[in-house]
Amino acid sequence: MTDSGKSKSAAGFTIKALLVGTACVLLVVFVTSWAELVVQRIMMGVVQFPPAAFGVFVLLIIANWVAKRIRPGWALAPGELAIAYTMMLIAAMTASRGAPRRLISLLTSINYYANPGNRWQETFFPYISPRLVPWNPDGPPVQPNIAALYEGLHNGEPIPWGIWLHPLALWTVVVLLMFGAFLCLATLLRAQWSDHERLSFPLAQLPIEMLRAEQGEPFYRNKLLYLGAAIPVVVHLINLGHNINPGIPQLKLIFPLNRALFPSPPLDRMGTFQINLCFSAIGFFFLLPKELLFSFWFFYLVLNKGHEAALLLLGQTLDRPGHADASLYLVSAEAGGFFVLAGYFIYLARPLLISAWRKGGGGEEMMPYRTALIGLFITIFASALWFTLAGLSLWLGLMELLVYVLVISLVMTRATAEGGLLMTEIIFTPLDVFGMFGSRRSLGARNLTALVFATVPFSGDMRGLTLQGMMDAQKIADSVRLRRRSLHWALWAGIGISLVAGFIIQLWINYRHGALSLNGQYSWLSGVFFGEHEAFLSGGEHFNPYATFCFLLGAAFTIFLSYMRLQFWWWPLHPLGFVMCGSWSLIVNWFPIFVAWLLKSVIVRYGGMRGFARARPFFLGLIFGEMTMAVILTLIDAIWHIPAPVIPFD
């Protein structure tokens, strides 16, 4: 019997689960916000397995174990624990890059950083709707309430909550529309990916094992689990000790390679090249097929870094979009690959989509298939209409959102569900695709202004992609036979609570500490896009036919890789490795991927699949230990102000 045919389970979306989940969501939102803004050395919400959610889930499991022995009536059933975890999972993504952090920056940075040199006031201010920002676009730059956000309030000054109510209420509408589109898409994809293709969903495996342990499985009795967990715990405790007493040696986890390997021209102009020793990443990647692991690190080293080195040695310049650490040629080629893979994934799901339209069905899903299919396009169209409030042409808004939802988000989610990538970061935007075939300057100042407001909250920084969280949540719910309708309401509860709490907590932190002393994201992401678009309007854009050629070449190469993989079992290269090779995901994780590939190759070579099964708890332990330590170190920093050591998630 398939998961969709399983009957209802034990308790799910109960009042008790909702209350416990709400309390945990509030803790997750605080830990995520404090870690990313104040601590700055532990990125709690940028990875698709949020350390904040998992760490609080570990604390909840411990509390539930105590409750079973002291007051059994207080203990949560496995279905209720699954509800609480999925609320936390979606909350960690929502409260970080999902909305509050990016929106607060977007709505204020243009006013604070506008100056005569960048010409933002005359270029963009006339086209900004006063309904969508907490300042007056007809006024000067650096208005007092915005200056207070960046520089901090003086003692006793109240936070100006009132100026934020109307713009954040309006922005919440389009954020909820996007989350609604993702819920519809997640409903439509679940059966194809989980039941038919049987993707592994690596990021859901550890929570599933922990929930099975609540049903009597011997997960916690395996000594290898604790051996694996001990390694990151000991390393991070030593580095915490170094922060307390510099006499204790520090164990480095990040090793920049650019200066060490390429100290002189022309190779010193290569993009970021470093080794990150992330134990939890090694644990996750160990769960993946070897050919996929090989494709990731092979394409990163050979195609990404190799083509950079070749171009520089030939005396060429590396034109880079300001928002990507990759050459324009690779950006264009990956975009072509994304379109091919998105089309292929939709093609595979076509029987289900056709059946959804003709017959309905999906009674066991989060919503009926026909409702999901209609809802998907209604939410996308409604979002495009919303962006007309910001001055965006309707056709351009539809193009932006269709590419974002049905191409970029779809392929990025697949890269995580199948490829286990911890970070869903991308190197091109929908506007970049337009620029490969036409002039962005021709769109005009109004559209280019509105496009910053459409891009930054969504496709400008893809980390914390909630669609992937929804797909993992369905896999977790199935493991405890939880009704998917219950999961649907749990996800909405997590989204709603985390949005409200995220805006309040992050505004409070920024006004009390001053954004200038916090994470530099406030002065970077929005400024990059405003700077790029001002250059387009000033004549700084030159159509590059090589970009169009590389887009088509990347599409053709992806078709070739997909064909070879389908026709020949021995073919070692996966198309996901190619389309992701320029992304920040692989810049950060290529070395853990290589280590996981090497270890898995040796274990399977000499121990077979039995050896892999025996070693699996050790690698799950690496995840368990590092993710739990991330939360503990953040709480230590918040309570006792002891600086947390770096954990290289980002």
Residue-number span of the structural domain to which 197 is assigned:
3-640
255 sits in which H/E element? strand 254-256
On whether residue 645 sits in a domain, the answer given is no
- Which SS3 state, helix, strand or coil, does residue 275 take? strand
The band of 523, judged by pLDDT with boundaries at 50, 70 and 90, is low
Angle at 468 between CA 620 and CA 397, to 5 degrees: 160
Q: Which two tokens stand for residue 431?
A: 């506007």
Digit-coded pLDDT (tens) for 109-142: 999 999 999 999 999 999 999 999 999 999 999 9
On whether residue 648 sits in a domain, the answer given is no
* Among candidate residues 375, 3, 414, 415, the one with its CA nearest the CA of residue 185: 375
Top mean-pLDDT range of 10-24, 394-408, 506-520 = 394-408
Question: What HEC string does 295-358 produce?
Answer: HHHHHHHHHHHHHHHHHHHCCCCCCCCCCCCCCHHHHHHHHHHHHHHHHHHHHHCHHHHHHHHH
**CA atoms of 401 and 522, how far apart (whole Å):** 24
Q: Which two tokens stand for residue 497?
A: 């609570």
pLDDT higher than threshold 60 for residue 9: no
Looking at the structure of the chain, the number of domains it has is: 1
The predicted model gives 283-307 an average pLDDT of: 93
Q: Regarding predicted confidence, which is higher, 255 or 460?
A: 255
Which pLDDT score is estimated for 90?
A: 94
Digit-coded pLDDT (tens) for 11-63: 568 899 999 999 999 999 998 888 888 887 777 777 888 888 998 999 999 99
Angle at 557 between CA 462 and CA 332, to 5 degrees: 45
For 80, 259, 320, 322, the CA distances from 267, given in Å and listed in that order, are: 55, 10, 15, 20
Q: Which residues does residue 255 pair with via DSSP β-bridges, in sequence order?
A: 275
pLDDT higher than threshold 90 for residue 246: yes
**402-411, 422-431, 523-532: least confident range:** 523-532
The band of 358, judged by pLDDT with boundaries at 50, 70 and 90, is confident
pLDDT higher than threshold 80 for residue 74: yes
pLDDT higher than threshold 70 for residue 208: yes
Instruction: Please state the φ and ψ torsions of residue 456, each to the nearest 5 degrees.
Output: -60, -45
Q: Are 96 and 499 in contact (CB under 8 A)?
A: no
Amino acid at 519: N
- Burial class of residue 531, CB neighbours in 10 A (0-12, 13-18, 19+): middle
Which residue's entry shows tokens 């960046």? Answer: 150
Which pLDDT score is estimated for 584?
A: 87
Digit-coded pLDDT (tens) for 421-479: 888 888 899 999 998 998 889 999 999 999 999 998 888 778 888 999 999 999 999 99
The predicted model gives 389-404 an average pLDDT of: 95
**CA atoms of 544 and 546, how far apart (whole Å):** 5
- Burial class of residue 638, CB neighbours in 10 A (0-12, 13-18, 19+): middle
Which pLDDT score is estimated for 4?
A: 41
Q: Are 184 and 465 in contact (CB under 8 A)?
A: no
Top mean-pLDDT range of 10-19, 318-327, 531-540 = 531-540
* Among candidate residues 558, 570, 610, the one with its CA nearest the CA of residue 332: 558
On whether residue 483 sits in a domain, the answer given is yes
Digit-coded pLDDT (tens) for 83-93: 999 999 999 99
- Which SS3 state, helix, strand or coil, does residue 254 take? strand
**246-250, 287-291, 356-360: least confident range:** 356-360
**CA atoms of 286 and 422, how far apart (whole Å):** 13
pLDDT higher than threshold 80 for residue 236: yes
Q: Which two tokens stand for residue 307?
A: 């083509």
**What percentage of the chain carries pLDDT values higher than 90?**
69
* Among candidate residues 276, 279, 282, the one with its CA nearest the CA of residue 230: 279
pLDDT higher than threshold 50 for residue 5: no
Q: Which two tokens stand for residue 305?
A: 């870094």
Digit-coded pLDDT (tens) for 155-164: 889 999 999 9
Q: Are 648 and 234 in contact (CB under 8 A)?
A: no
**CA atoms of 383 and 397, how far apart (whole Å):** 8
70 sits in which H/E element? helix 51-70
On whether residue 647 sits in a domain, the answer given is no
The one-character DSSP state at 48 is: S
Q: Which two tokens stand for residue 337?
A: 């690959």
Q: Are 529 and 430 in contact (CB under 8 A)?
A: no
Which pLDDT score is estimated for 3?
A: 41
Which pLDDT score is estimated for 11?
A: 55
Dihedral of alpha carbons 196, 197, 201, 202, sign: positive
The predicted model gives 63-91 an average pLDDT of: 94
The band of 522, judged by pLDDT with boundaries at 50, 70 and 90, is low
**CA atoms of 448 and 456, how far apart (whole Å):** 12
Q: How many CA atoms lie within 13 A of 197 on its CB side?
A: 14
Q: Are 351 and 177 in contact (CB under 8 A)?
A: no
On whether residue 649 sits in a domain, the answer given is no
The band of 520, judged by pLDDT with boundaries at 50, 70 and 90, is low
The band of 521, judged by pLDDT with boundaries at 50, 70 and 90, is low
* Among candidate residues 436, 434, 412, the one with its CA nearest the CA of residue 333: 436
The predicted model gives 549-556 an average pLDDT of: 96
The predicted model gives 231-253 an average pLDDT of: 96
Q: State the pTM of this model.
A: 0.92
On whether residue 646 sits in a domain, the answer given is no
Q: How many CA atoms lie within 13 A of 622 on its CB side?
A: 17
Which pLDDT score is estimated for 351?
A: 85
**CA atoms of 368 and 359, how far apart (whole Å):** 10
On whether residue 650 sits in a domain, the answer given is no
Q: Are 615 and 223 in contact (CB under 8 A)?
A: no
Q: For the CA atoms of 53, 54, 56, 59, what is the dihedral angle to 10 degrees?
A: 160
Average pLDDT value for the chain:
90
Which pLDDT score is estimated for 26?
A: 96
Digit-coded pLDDT (tens) for 583-636: 888 999 999 999 999 999 999 999 999 999 999 999 999 999 999 999 899 889
Dihedral of alpha carbons 595, 597, 603, 606, sign: negative
**CA atoms of 386 and 101, how far apart (whole Å):** 21
> Percentage helix, strand, coil, to 5, in the chain?
70, 0, 30
Q: How many CA atoms lie within 13 A of 373 on its CB side?
A: 17
Question: What HEC string does 418-482 produce?
Answer: CCCCCCCCCCCCHHHHHHCCCCHHHHHHHHHHHHHHHHCCCCCCCCCCHHHHHHHHHHHHHHCCC
Among the residues of 514-583, which ranges form H helices? 525-537, 545-567, 575-579
Which pLDDT score is estimated for 8?
A: 44
Q: Are 181 and 374 in contact (CB under 8 A)?
A: no
Q: Are 575 and 341 in contact (CB under 8 A)?
A: yes
